[in-house]
């Protein structure tokens, strides 16, 4: 499986073979910390092309990004009879944002990335019998809940009318997925460490239509002394592979 990417030049994406590991018999992990967002996005697209030739393969991109904003196809729509009270992003302020802005294909409104986030981008072919979209999304959240519970963080849930991973009224992770020809890309952003500069920038953009102070990080709830983002990612990915068997 490790020759899956042999037809592309990894260095075009600031990658080499050390960034790629095999998780199980059909799953490869591509891991890159503080990865330029545009390169990561291009790599997702290239991986989707390769998956057309090997549809049973699953690629999990595990990364973080420099500070950046992304904007999807639009805010979550309310179900019949409910109100979400979300604030639309004003595109007129794009030029005044302190970090790069990317308009992208995923669902959802404006969100943010920074080096203290854990990003999981599953690139895989959906199958209604084995791994549907809802099961994939739920498992990304459920595995985070299970792993963080082992670290001592209780009370997380994704059973909320607003998509995300929630700690009471605070949002710990966002989800935005795109699908083309049954292949998923984009994914989950889990706020692991605090980022004061990003927090300050969020005050005027209402990420996902919410007030900036709705967002929280694992670091604000748990003592993460001697714990790294990579430590968490190794355990998270191991659980995820088991959940998808």
Does the active-site annotation cover 63? no
Catalytic residue among 201, 208, 218, 229: 208
Pairing between β-strand 101-103 and β-strand 156-157 as defined by DSSP bridges: unpaired
Pairing between β-strand 117-123 and β-strand 156-157 as defined by DSSP bridges: unpaired
- For residue 29, give the 3-state DSSP assignment: strand
3-state secondary structure 48-116: HHHHCCCCCCEEEEEECCCCEEEEEEECCCCCCCCCCCCCCCCHHHHHHCCCCEEECCCCEEEEEECCC
DSSP state of 35: -
What does each C-alpha distance from 144 to 116, 139, 164, 188 come to in angstroms?
A: 16, 8, 11, 10
Question: What percent of the chain is helix, strand and coil (3-state, nearest 5)?
Answer: 30, 30, 40
Backbone phi, psi, residue 241, to 5°: -60, -40
The token pair that represents 145 in the structure block: 């809940």
DSSP state of 27: E
- Residues catalogued as catalytic: 208
């Amino acid at each position: 499986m490790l020759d899956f990417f042999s037809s592309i030049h990894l260095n075009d994406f600031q990658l080499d073979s050390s960034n790629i590991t095999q998780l199980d018999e059909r799953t490869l992990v591509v891991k890159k910390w503080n990865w330029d967002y545009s390169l990561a996005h291009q790599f997702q697209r290239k991986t989707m092309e390769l998956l057309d030739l090997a549809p049973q393969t699953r690629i999990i991109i595990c990364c973080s990004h420099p500070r950046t904003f992304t904007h999807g196809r639009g805010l979550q729509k309310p179900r019949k009879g409910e109100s979400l009270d979300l604030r639309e992003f004003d595109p007129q302020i794009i030029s005044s944002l302190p970090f790069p802005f990317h308009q992208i294909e995923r669902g959802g409104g404006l969100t943010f990335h920074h080096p203290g986030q854990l990003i999981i981008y599953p690139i895989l072919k959906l199958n209604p019998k084995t791994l549907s979209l809802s099961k994939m999304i739920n498992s990304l959240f459920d595995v985070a809940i299970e792993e963080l519970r082992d670290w001592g963080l209780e009370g997380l849930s994704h059973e909320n009318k607003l998509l995300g991973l929630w700690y009471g009224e605070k949002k710990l992770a966002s989800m935005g997925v795109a699908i083309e020809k049954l292949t998923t890309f984009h994914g989950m952003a889990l706020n692991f460490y605090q980022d004061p500069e990003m927090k300050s920038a969020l005050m005027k953009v209402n990420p996902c239509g919410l007030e900036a102070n709705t967002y929280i990080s694992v670091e604000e709830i748990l003592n993460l002394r001697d714990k790294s983002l990579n430590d968490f990612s190794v355990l998270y990915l191991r659980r995820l592979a088991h959940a998808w068997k």
